[in-house]
Amino acid sequence: MAIQANFSAMLASTRMRLLTISRYPGQLVTDMIVPIVLAAMPILLGRAGGAANAEAVFKANTGTSNYVAYMLIGSSAFSIVSNAFWHMAYWLRREQELGTLETLYQVPTHRIWIAAGTALYSSLRAVSTALIAYWLGCLIMRVNPFQGDIALALLFIGVGLLPLYSLTLLFGAVVLKIKEANALVGLMQWGVSFLMGIYFPIAIFPPLVKALALLFPPTWMTNGVRSALLGVGFFFGAWYKDLAVLWAFMMVAPWLGVWVFTRTEVSIRRNEGMGQF
């Protein structure tokens, strides 16, 4: 099938999902509120301990005294990661439950293009709501949202998205295999968030957990954004070195994701078929 036709199918899939979500504005509002509330928990706990002392201890631990922005960046990044897993896993699970997944395998467009359409929709929704949540949260908690190198922060988010959505393909393969999404996504989103240091620097982890955390692209994305905006320090000391690691992820992760996903598909089709759920 011509690449132009595949792109058209991908964009149609994105458009359909954007149209659907536009009918549920409450969900979009929730997407914006959740990161602010999640960040508010540790922020208010910190403020309760006496602002000056809390700031000093926080700075010693993280490299910045701006704990409001630090937590908001973490919760907004969490929202992007969490949405990526939810949207991709639920797309597959819902197609399975509605009985339309088997039909998808009979159309000339490969599933990867439909998955790419879902990923495009998901990233548009997740990134835009996360950015609004960050800016809104900063305004509510009286912190300047326009500090630091905003362009570099956006670059880290942009480069980090492809490896992130490649990870969701690996996860999609698991959903296809064990035919369960809800519980798995719940565990996965918190597991990844823990490893990527949603509210804390990964330096506090023991060496083995830290090494595991560094294998996750979202860890580099989150630290890159924090370093660009708050100057907490890049893992390799310079922004281009950290960005190079994300580029390396970007080169490897999609191939790995597609390979695992298609292998799982083939195995399922050879056995019970895609219609089973």
Partner 1 sequence: MQRTNSPHSVSLSSFLSTFLAMVRKELLIMARYPVNFVVSFGQMFLTVSIFTLAGRLFYVPPAEQSGLSNGSNPSGIVVYGFILFIFLSDTLWTIGYNVRNEQVQGTLEQLYLSPASKFANLVARVTNTLVWTGLLSIAGGALMAALIGRLPFENPLLGLYLFVLALMGTFGVGFAFAALTLYIKETAQTLANLLQFAFLVLCANFFPFAALPPFLRFISRLIPLAYAVDAFRSALMGFPEGFPELAPFRIEFWIVTVFGLAMPVLGYYLYRAAERQARKEGSLSSY
Q: In what helix (H) or strand (E) does residue 179 lie, and over which residues does it extend?
A: none
If one asks whether residue 132 binds partner 1 (CB under 8 A), the answer comes out as no
If one asks whether residue 239 binds partner 1 (CB under 8 A), the answer comes out as no
Buried b (16+ CB within 10 A) or exposed e, 197-211: bbbebbeebeeeebe
If one asks whether residue 217 binds partner 1 (CB under 8 A), the answer comes out as no
Matching residue, tokens 């540790």:
42
| List 90, 135, 200, 247, residue binding partner 1 (CB under 8 A) | 200
| List 8, 20, 61, 128, residue binding partner 1 (CB under 8 A) | 61
| List 1, 5, 7, 49, residue binding partner 1 (CB under 8 A) | 49
The CB density around residue 157, as the number of other CB atoms within 10 Å, is 22
- C-beta of residue 193 within 8 angstroms of C-beta of residue 84: no
Give the total of residues touching partner 1 (CB under 8 A).
39
CA distance 255 to 199: 30
If one asks whether residue 62 binds partner 1 (CB under 8 A), the answer comes out as yes
The answer to whether the Cα torsion of 136, 137, 141, 147 is positive or negative is negative
Name the minimum Å distance from CB 2 to partner 1. 39
C-beta of 58 vs 165, nearer to partner 1: 58
C-beta of 57 vs 154, nearer to partner 1: 57
If one asks whether residue 20 binds partner 1 (CB under 8 A), the answer comes out as no
